Structure 1
Amino acid sequence: MTRRYKELDSLRGIAAIIVLLGHFLALFPILGKKVMYSTFGAYFSILWQGHSAVIIFFVLSGFVLSLPFYKGTEFNYLKYLIKRVCRIYIPYIVILFIAIGIKLGIHSKIGTIPGLVQWGSWNIEVSFNRVMDHILFLREFNPDAFIMVIWSLVHEMRISIVFPLIIFLLLRVNWKVSIGIAMFLSVIGYLLMKNIPSEFNMPVSTNYFITLHYSSMFIIGALLAKNREYLVSKIINLKVKYLLLPLGLLFFSYPRIPFMLLSKLIGEIDYELYLIIIDWYICFGAVLIILSALSSKLFSKLLLIKPVQFIGEISYSLYLVHPIVLLTTVHIFYGKISVPLILLISFIFTMVVSVLCYKFIEIPSIKIGRKLAAENSRGDISLRKKAS
């Protein structure tokens, strides 16, 4: 049986909270900027680096999904896909229709709110084609219509479908070639993004070109999982291990550093290249943070504190429901109570709703996935055996 790294669940939970805080601050840009550009913001920008948090989601997914393959356990693609669909897609579909129902229910209350960020207006029309786009994930579409964070879920599902093929390849090559493949995918994604512009803003686009780029983050996570024991054994007795977390947090918290340095050296950089550069920079930080979680006893103990673990358990529901709760609350209560109070109420309700969704949507869906997978366990093959 594959070991479950609970520390990594906690990291995912912390990342989900960071995404939440980022959206809470971004809802009213004027108010958010007062915090972000304050003295406090200069030192604690990690608290709202939502994009950095999404990159660590991708790296963690690559790490966790690859573990069974490295153990040489029997593999059945249908079984894998059933579990993945029930773990991620089914809860999303249920919460999507809840979001649509809420949006239709409060339609009369959705109006123009001064100073609200564009995605906060929640006024994109509900239509059959738009709903189908959100169900099928086939075309490029605007994720702001119902649950604006689901752009990352689109890439997660697409990459998950082909992930066994990626692992099949990684099992046959060394780490240098693996990194080369990851970088190649990013370069191809960049060239396609640059020459075939997206209809929607990067990096929250759902087009296939950026899926190519984000698949590189999964590969880095899988490569880290493949070499985790070797890396931890080398790091654990070295003093350098104490630098892993601070450096990782630096890369995570200040992703614009390489962009600013390169801009001074070579001049203006196009946005697509900017995206690629900062994502790889953040990815390196994510690797350092994960290595620290696996090699530092102190950091591991902090991540295994029960409240932190609990946030990790509900992190997926938290990620999906916080935009729905936030936008519902602001459109119902704006003008009746202060904005800080709206945000506080949103946070409390988000935590409550996340727990309910975890217990009554996520857990049942996971159980269904396990049951269906058990019924479709014939034809298992070992990728490691086949690779040899």
Structure 2
Amino acid sequence: MKADSSSRLVELDSLRGIAALIVVVHHAYLSLPEVPGWVAWTVNDTPLRPIGMGRQAVIFFFVLSGYVLTRALARQEQRQPGSVLSGGGWAHYGAQRAIRLGLPVLAAVALSAALQSLSWSGPLPPETPHITGGAAWAAPWTWRDLAAQALLLEHGDGFQLDPVLWSLVHEWRIALLLPLALLFRDRLALLLAVALVGAGVARLAGMPEGHVSLGDSLLGTLAASAGFLPAFAAGAALALRPVPRLDETQALAAAVVVVVMAMAAHDYGVIAGSVLLILLALRGGRFARSLRRRSLLWLGKVSFSLYLVHLPVLLLLTHLLHGQTAPAVVAMMATVMALPAAAAMHGLVERPAHRLARRLPPPRSARLQPRLT
């Protein structure tokens, strides 16, 4: 999800980190059995709605991945024609993606399995919120469970060790298709049309509009992945044909749209808002400068690890402290503890996985592969 280091857009790293933190807070919120009415209103009916829904942050991840990966692939193909749009180049890109996504995913699943083995004494009561009850750690894990989840082959509520992996099923699959986006460099309308056909496939398969996550079968997950094609395609289109820098009036209008679209329940509104948010980050100015703060850059650096480890931390504390500590306190503790856990995951697993992927020898036709994550 990152461009090569020579052209890194650090502002987008910060946005990714903020989105990951929103997901963390969202799951902490969902773990609360009940909340005051004013809190529910604030996180469901205001621009803070991403905290209540969480989905907006995931859609933003998809748009951002489409943009950053396609941008790096296009630059590589421009430097050395055929280095991406060739069998060897594509295989090399896929192998890099497999290492950079797969090793952290395996580590997160193994961590969750270990934590469950240490703390699990049985399923939580039926009235427990779904995110910490039925969606995760509902039963003892098996080696078959661990393998299937690490390989992103589950469906429905199958990702019991780390429910956030549902989004990586789609991230992994669609990212492998992004080299094809380069074929549409001069036909972006066709690229978007093809992506919308994919969304139509998801609807025909019965995927609920605005609520697609995973299907009830492995085949159903393929239809669900098709439903997310427009998000990746929007980011890819932005990378293939950059929009001129927004002037002050346009930036103000874009900011208003982003705030309004943060409350949108429909994916297409969120996709539009995500594209505008990327444009605002790229135009420079005060907003871009605010995204270069060290704290946000650090958050962006560990964002993937944070996304992977925060639920195992929440599940551990929920099972250890259930009936002893108020759920709100548990949620706050988990949110805070997820940050050092993410830093450890980044240093011990994610960063070494990046180094390992970079050591993969490129095919002879693609000696200048971009560093992609």
Q: Normalising to structure 1: TM-score of the pair?
A: 0.82
Deviations 1:324-371 (A, max 9, x none): 000110110122222222122212211110111111111111101111
More helix, by proportion: 1
Write the mapping of 1:333-352 to structure 2, written as runs, cut at 5 A: 333-352=321-340
Distance 2:42 2:237 in 1: 39
Residue 217 (1) aligns with residue 231 (2): yes
- Return the match for 2:66 from 62, 87, 90: 62
Q: 1:37 aligns with which of 38, 41, 53?
A: 41
Q: How many pairs align?
A: 347
- Partner residue in 2 for 1:266: none
Partner of 1:146: 161
Output the CA distance in 1 between the equivalents of 2:153 and 2:50.
33
1:295-310 equivalence runs, <5 A: 295-310=283-298
2:108 equivalent to 1:120? no
**1:315 Cα deviation from its structure 2 partner:** 0.3
Contact 2:67 2:232 survives alignment (8 Å): yes
Q: 2:230, 2:338 → 1: CA distance?
A: 32
Looking at structure 1, the residues matched to 125 and 37 of structure 2 have their Cα atoms a distance apart, in angstroms, of: 18
Pick closer, same or farther for the CA change 1:18–1:160 going to 2, 3 Å. Answer: same
Q: Distance in 2 between matches of 1:38 and 1:351?
A: 25
Change (3 A) 1:50 1:214: same
Supply the distance in 2 between the matched residues of 1:305 and 1:49 (Cα, whole angstroms). Answer: 27
* Alignment partners' CA distance in 1, 2:141 and 2:149: 11
Local SS of the residue matching 2:249: coil
Q: Deviations over 1:224-252 (max 9, x none)?
A: 11122xx133x2x3512212122112102
Aligned position for 2:103: 90
* Unmatched 5+ stretches in structure 2: 84-88
153, 165, 175: which one aligns with 2:188: 175
Q: CA deviation at 1:204?
A: 4.4
Q: What pairs up with 1:273-312 in 2 under 5 angstroms?
A: 278-312=266-300
Distance in 1 (alpha carbons) for counterparts of 2:205 and 2:79: 37
Q: Deviations over 1:10-42 (max 9, x none)?
A: 111000011111111111242276522259964
Separation in structure 2 between the aligned mates of residue 39 and residue 82 of structure 1, nearest angstrom: 40
2: distance between equivalents of 1:185 and 1:335? Answer: 46
- Structure 2 letter corresponding to 1:248: V
The CA RMSD measured in Å over matched residues stands at 2.5
Show the counterpart of 1:269.
none
Which letter does structure 2 place at the counterpart of 1:251? Answer: M
Shift of 1:382: 9.6
Among candidates 339, 344, 348, match of residue 360 of structure 1: 348
- Closer, same or farther: CA 67–135 of 1 in aligned 2, 3 Å: same
The separation in 1 between residues aligned to 2:249 and 2:336, in whole angstroms, is 41
Q: Tell whether the 8 Å contact from 1:59 to 1:221 is kept in structure 2 after alignment.
A: yes
2:312 is the alignment partner of 1:324 = yes
Deviation of residue 300 (structure 1)? Answer: 0.4
TM-score using structure 2 length = 0.86
Cα separation, partners in 2 of 1:124 and 1:204, compared to 1, 3 Å: farther
* DSSP 3-state at the match of 2:163: coil
The one of 245, 254, 274 equivalent to 1:244 is 254
